[in-house]
Amino acid sequence: MPIEVVRDASALARRAADIICETARATPAAVLGLPTGDTPRATYALLALRAEAGVCDLTGVTAFAVDEFCGVPRNTPGTNSMYFRREVNLPLRTVHVPNPAAADPEAHITAFADAIRRAGGMDLCLLGVGVNGHIAFNEPGSAEDARARVVDLTEASRAAHAAAFGGLPAVPRRGLTLGIADLLEARAILVLAQGAAKAATLARALEGPRTADVPASWLQGHPHVTWLLDEAAAAALTRR
């Protein structure tokens, strides 16, 4: 399970962009799973610059968001739909984000996961890790065989998005997410993490037992997962 430790957030963004561009070169019609959040923002900006300069061709790439909030319109500030519109300004073939206002959210997110499989499955899935160890919106307690579903968000996860929604009361209490089992079907996974606040959780995810208490630990069972961490995030690891 490769662990790459880089100096800082800028180096992390450069290395993540390298891996995504390498994937697109090897598989021009690649299918990517993409997260939102602070950590991948610099990677997306760097990819946009490389695409504009003609050094990274993403025009054949299809992207699927790995999660979304539930129960609000797409254009609500703070939704992942708005994040993709604002932050992921990439010349991709198509970008698919679950509909947060779906009339039947359970059926919708199940169909969304099925669409990924019909597209051939994810060649590369990018993931962030929450302070509580969640991946996508798979909160603590998520089983390894959990599939795409509607989930109740923890207060920690809601608090992390409070600023984007204009305050904690406006953050939806439920989310739509690909399940652990859906994520593990990706042919390769790249986990991005930065900052000292993630260090203890990453030590549990990488060096502790595989457990639903730390959903990111389920990734230990994937044959092609790379952990890309900055020095601060890797500080609590005993091996690298």
Cα torsion through 63, 67, 70, 75, rounded to 10: -40
Active site residue: 18, 96, 132, 144, which one? 132
pLDDT digits (tens, 9 = 90+) for 12-51: 999 999 999 999 999 999 999 999 999 999 999 999 999 9
What percentage of the chain has pLDDT greater than the value 70? 100
Residue of 68, 108, 123, 134 marked catalytic: 134
Mean pLDDT value of segment 181-189: 98
Q: Is the pLDDT of residue 147 over 80?
A: yes
Tokens of 2: 């490769």
156-160, 203-207, 213-217: lowest mean pLDDT where? 156-160
132 given a catalytic annotation: yes
Pairing relationship of beta strands 149-152 and 174-177 according to DSSP bridges: antiparallel
pLDDT tens figures, 92-122: 999 999 999 999 999 999 999 999 999 999 9
Domain segments of the chain: what residues?
Answer: 3-230
The helix/strand/coil state of 95 is strand
Q: Which listed residue (87, 139, 182, 230) is catalytic?
A: 139
67, 68, 123, 230: the active-site residue: 67
What is the pLDDT at residue 16?
98
The answer to whether the CB of 119 falls within 8 A of the CB of 95 is no
**Residue 2 confidence (pLDDT):** 93
- Hunting for tokens 């500030």 — which residue is that? 77
CATH of domain 3-230: 3.40.50.1360
Rounded to 5 degrees, φ, ψ at 213 are: -65, -25
Q: What is the pLDDT of residue 239?
A: 79
